[in-house]
Structure 1
Amino acid sequence: MSSKPRAPRADAARNRERLLEVATRVLASPDTETSMRAIAREAGVGIATLYRHFPTRESLVEAVYSDQVVRLTNGAQDLLAHEAPAIAMRHWMDLFGNWIATKNGMLDTLLTLIESGAVGHAQTRDQLLSAISTILDAGRAAGDLRPDITAEEIAACLIGIFTVAHQSGHAVTAGRLLDILLDGLRPH
């Protein structure tokens, strides 16, 4: 007789969520390779609790990355439920920027995970393109967004914008560039 795995206790689930929340924020800072101990301390848990949930730095980075991809892909539907497609697209672009920023303090670990195959780069790309397509399709149907733009083109623009905007000493802000991109996505 097989038994179902038990759901985590409420306090364990809260601790895991708190650790993910703190790790996401800390890893988004410009500091590189923040210590696991600092993440546990800021989350208000002991280091043993952190290691119980995430036995290695890699497992924590993978969990943060996966959590952010889910939030980003689900964000497209959530935004469309409350906003016109063009506005949903602009807000989703901000979510994408936040997702990109999360990579600052975990880039080396994330690259190692991608190289090892532990994180599927192609799968993430497909999920993100699907989220963009969801908003694009709704925008086309509503007449808010141009019908001749592809999700791949928007993704390329976003990567370019966040690459340029995050260069130190660059006077252009990402928000301004995103507004210009959105203007270009509207029908003429």
Structure 2
Amino acid sequence: MTNARRPRRDAIANRERLIDAAFVLLGSRDADISVSELAAASGVGVGTAYRHFPNHEALVRALYDRAVDEFASRIESVAVAGSAWDQLAKFVEEGTLIVADTPGVRAVMRLMYDLDPDYAPARRAVAPFDQLISAAKAEGALRDDITAADLTLTVFSLGSFVGRPVGPEREALSRISRLVVDGMRADGAKSDLPPAQMDQPAFHAFMHRSNAAPPQVD
């Protein structure tokens, strides 16, 4: 049998360019997007775009898969050699920044649910996450009534203030995530907090501005 040919390097680059451009567009307007519109925004030919994503559903599914994979890889990269509580606290803090750094992710999630509400590749992380929560409770660090939904909702709530935080904004998100998680502790311990560096004008901009300018798509 003849082995299937690997995708050409330029084909892979074009696909990644299209996906990056889609997240930029969705993050700036939180709405839907078509394959032809994406082609125009990314500078990739319409025919090439449709070869990668022959219809709207294929595009949305690819965006959703990218978001899930990126979230999983970044969370795995911050696993600490410490207590279960340390790992949960880091999950909330890093997860908050991931959501903030990818403002188009909520639009992608809504679009995917409209197309296929049963599609949930992230379910593979449910069992390990539940085990980590149980371990933190067994340590006496986490309140017995805290659920996985509580922690995940915290991540998406805190990460949705504004897209692409920079400088003191990132410090502020790290700080508030630690304060919120401390409210879930059973042992009364307190986290070390980043210094409060955001003055009133910076806080006003953080709460009122649109998403920061996205990185350029080459």
Correspondence list, 1:90-129, <5 A: 90-98=93-101, 101-104=104-107, 107=110, 109-115=111-117, 117=118, 120-121=119-120, 123-124=121-122, 126-129=123-126
- For 2:193, the equivalent position in structure 1 comes to none
Q: Which one of 143, 152, 156 corresponds to residue 155 of structure 1?
A: 152
Per-residue deviation, residues 7-27 of structure 1 (Å, max 9, x unmatched): 100110111111111112212
SS state at 1:34 partner: coil
Task: Say how many residue pairs are matched.
Answer: 172
One-letter amino acid of the counterpart of residue 42, structure 2: A
Which consecutive unaligned segments of at least 5 residues does structure 2 have? 163-171, 189-218
Alignment partners' CA distance in 2, 1:45 and 1:77: 33
Per-residue deviation, residues 107-149 of structure 1 (Å, max 9, x unmatched): 3x4233224x5xx13x43x2454575587589789x7x63744
Contact 1:40–1:46 (CA<8 Å) still a contact in 2?
Answer: yes
Larger Rg, first or second structure (1 or 2): 2
Contact 2:61–2:112 (CA<8 Å) still a contact in 1?
Answer: yes
Alignment partners' CA distance in 2, 1:60 and 1:94: 25
Alignment partners' CA distance in 2, 1:140 and 1:32: 40
- For 2:78, the equivalent position in structure 1 comes to 79
- For 2:64, the equivalent position in structure 1 comes to 65
- For 1:11, the equivalent position in structure 2 comes to 10
TM-score (norm 1): 0.68
- For 1:184, the equivalent position in structure 2 comes to 183
Deviation at 1:156, TM superposition (A): 3.8
Contact 1:20–1:64 (CA<8 Å) still a contact in 2?
Answer: yes
Alpha-carbon RMSD across the aligned residues, in angstroms, is: 3.7
Q: Comparing both structures, which one devotes a greater share of its residues to helix?
A: 1
- For 2:32, the equivalent position in structure 1 comes to 33
Per-residue deviation, residues 59-111 of structure 1 (Å, max 9, x unmatched): 1111000111111122221122699633453012322455674233773x423
